[in-house]
């Protein structure tokens, strides 16, 4: 056997063993009238040269005469290579009966034009396409706003809505190509779990509440870009002197009503020593004691504790605080008992 034939035989055997050419590879006659093309799923988009922004594409079979999609009459193994780009796979198959391959992903870490080349046995020409990758700029500013930014009740329930954006040097929104974490903290020691601007999202919003009244300085910082910004929000205490006094007064009135219902026939206005050796508080003492119940229930309603504000009364104005105090004066002992039951149930669950 001539020397060149031996070399050709060795090379062919090596390719077959390595899997670069299928054992049953042969030039099917049907492939002559068809060609391969690469269809970009986002043909007009530029992608970030960050190694993560993916350009998606498919290999398709096209009839040379009609220029329309055609199905494969047998499995077509397509070999892929790229210039200035990173392919996740080097080989993909268009299965018999299909007109296109599964998705192909291309990334790049270098700005510029990346070229993808697809070749298959039996197709006379390779298919090519080009993808533009650009250097993704970093944002120059982190924008933090809060709405509303004043007169928010510091009850741990009412909140301000924080909006976090990233801005380019020209002031336009920066749209990140990867998830960006934002840390939120305050000058009063509050710290929220990190919030996240998801990939390809323009901004993120998150509620913030606190039980600490006063001017709360909220700070947002991005560990990814080393940017930060802050905003001041005014939280006001729901426990004013007026609402506290009205809650006590409501509890006092509730106590009078409760005492009257329980002692209609033997009302005593002042404390009285009884024959069984005990003291009766009397109407005034009983009402004063239940005024404290009214204030305790008002505190519970302020901080959204169970059973304290069944009618959803506005605890921050005088009518609401007074009526909640009345409720506490009438039913404070029951409410405090239920709190105890809830606490014990919670301990058992823990």
* 335 burial level (CB within 10 Å; 0-12, 13-18, 19+): buried
- Across the range 339-348, mean pLDDT stands at 78
Q: Residue 6 — pLDDT band, cuts 50, 70, 90?
A: low
- pLDDT at res. 69: 92
* 307 burial level (CB within 10 Å; 0-12, 13-18, 19+): middle
Helix 318-349 vs helix 241-262: crossing angle, to nearest 10: 80
Contact yes or no for 248/233 (Cβ under 8 A): no
- pLDDT at res. 3: 58
CA distances from 290 to 136, 283, 285, 293, 325 (A): 67, 11, 9, 5, 9
CA distances from 332 to 54, 154, 208 (A): 63, 24, 31
- pLDDT at res. 248: 92
CA-to-CA distance for 278 and 155, rounded, in angstroms? Answer: 41
CA-to-CA distance for 146 and 258, rounded, in angstroms? Answer: 46
Residue 230 pLDDT > 90, yes or no?
Answer: yes
Tokens of 12: 């062919």
Residue 36 pLDDT > 60, yes or no?
Answer: yes
- Across the range 201-206, mean pLDDT stands at 91
CA-to-CA distance for 226 and 135, rounded, in angstroms? Answer: 19
Name 126's Cβ contacts closer than 8 Å, sequence gap at least 6. 36, 117, 118, 119
Q: Any idea what the Cα angle at residue 112 is, between residues 109 and 115, rounded to 5°?
A: 90
DSSP-derived pairing of the beta strands 55-63 and 195-197 = unpaired
Q: Return the top range by mean pLDDT from 188-192, 196-200, 266-270, 335-339.
A: 196-200
Neighbours of 225 (CB within 10 A): 16
Q: Residue 39 — pLDDT band, cuts 50, 70, 90?
A: very high
- pLDDT at res. 11: 58
| pTM for this prediction | 0.49
CA dihedral of residues 163, 165, 171, 173 (deg, nearest 10)? -120
Residue 283 pLDDT > 50, yes or no?
Answer: yes
Q: How many CA atoms lie within 13 A of 165 on its CB side?
A: 11
Q: Residue 22 — pLDDT band, cuts 50, 70, 90?
A: very low
256-272 tens-digit pLDDT: 898 888 877 676 776 77
Higher model confidence: residue 130 or residue 311? 130
Q: Residue 279 — pLDDT band, cuts 50, 70, 90?
A: low
- pLDDT at res. 14: 53
Q: Residue 24 — pLDDT band, cuts 50, 70, 90?
A: very low
Q: Residue 120 — pLDDT band, cuts 50, 70, 90?
A: very high
Residue 61 pLDDT > 70, yes or no?
Answer: yes
CA-to-CA distance for 325 and 321, rounded, in angstroms? Answer: 6
Contacts of 265-270 with CB under 8 Å at 24 or more apart are: none
CA-to-CA distance for 110 and 128, rounded, in angstroms? Answer: 19
- Please identify which residue in the block is written with the tokens 């499995």: 75
Q: Is the peptide bond before 38 cis (omega within 30 degrees of 0)?
A: no
φ, ψ of residue 112 to 5 degrees: the values are 135, -165
Go through the domains of the chain in sequence order and give each one's CATH number: 3-134 (2.60.40.10), 141-236 (2.60.40.10), 241-349 (no CATH)
Contact yes or no for 282/268 (Cβ under 8 A): yes
Residue 162 pLDDT > 80, yes or no?
Answer: yes
Neighbours of 104 (CB within 10 A): 22
- pLDDT at res. 2: 56
Residue 26 pLDDT > 50, yes or no?
Answer: no
CA distances from 280 to 17, 192, 200, 277, 293 (A): 103, 51, 72, 10, 18
Counting every residue written for the chain, the total comes to 350
88-103 tens-digit pLDDT: 899 999 999 999 999 9
Q: Residue 178 — pLDDT band, cuts 50, 70, 90?
A: confident
């Amino acid at each position: 056997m001539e020397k060149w034939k031996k070399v050709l035989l060795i090379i062919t055997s090596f390719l077959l063993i390595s899997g670069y050419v299928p054992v049953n590879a042969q030039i099917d006659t049907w492939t002559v009238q068809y060609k391969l093309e690469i269809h970009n799923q986002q043909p007009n988009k530029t992608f970030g040269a960050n190694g993560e922004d993916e350009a998606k594409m498919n290999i398709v079979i096209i009839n040379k005469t009609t220029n329309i999609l055609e199905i494969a009459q047998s499995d077509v193994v397509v070999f892929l290579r790229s210039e200035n780009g990173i392919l996740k796979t080097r080989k993909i198959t268009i299965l018999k009966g299909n007109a296109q391959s599964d998705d192909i992903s291309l990334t790049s870490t270098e700005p510029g034009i990346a070229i993808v080349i697809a070749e298959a046995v039996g197709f006379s020409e390779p298919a090519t396409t080009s993808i533009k990758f650009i250097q993704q700029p970093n944002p120059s500013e982190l924008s933090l706003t809060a709405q509303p930014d004043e007169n928010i009740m510091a009850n741990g329930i009412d909140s301000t809505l924080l909006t976090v954006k990233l801005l380019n040097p020209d002031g336009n929104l920066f749209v990140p190509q990867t998830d960006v974490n934002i840390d939120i903290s305050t000058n009063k020691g509050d710290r929220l779990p990190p919030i996240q601007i998801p990939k390809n999202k323009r901004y993120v919003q998150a509620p913030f509440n606190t039980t600490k009244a006063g001017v709360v300085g909220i700070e947002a910082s991005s560990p990814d870009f080393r940017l930060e910004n802050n905003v001041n929000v005014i939280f006001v205490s729901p426990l004013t002197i007026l609402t506290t006094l009205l809650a006590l007064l409501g509890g006092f009135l509730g106590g009078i009503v409760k005492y009257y219902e329980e002692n209609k026939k033997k009302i005593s206005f002042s404390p009285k020593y009884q024959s069984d050796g005990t003291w009766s508080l009397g109407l005034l003492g009983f009402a004063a004691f239940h005024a404290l119940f009214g204030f305790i229930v008002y505190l519970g309603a302020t901080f959204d504790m169970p059973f304290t504000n069944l009618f959803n009364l506005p605890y921050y104005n005088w009518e609401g605080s007074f009526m909640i105090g009345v409720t506490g004066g009438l039913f404070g002992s029951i409410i405090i008992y239920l709190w105890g039951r809830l606490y014990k149930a919670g301990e058992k669950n823990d």
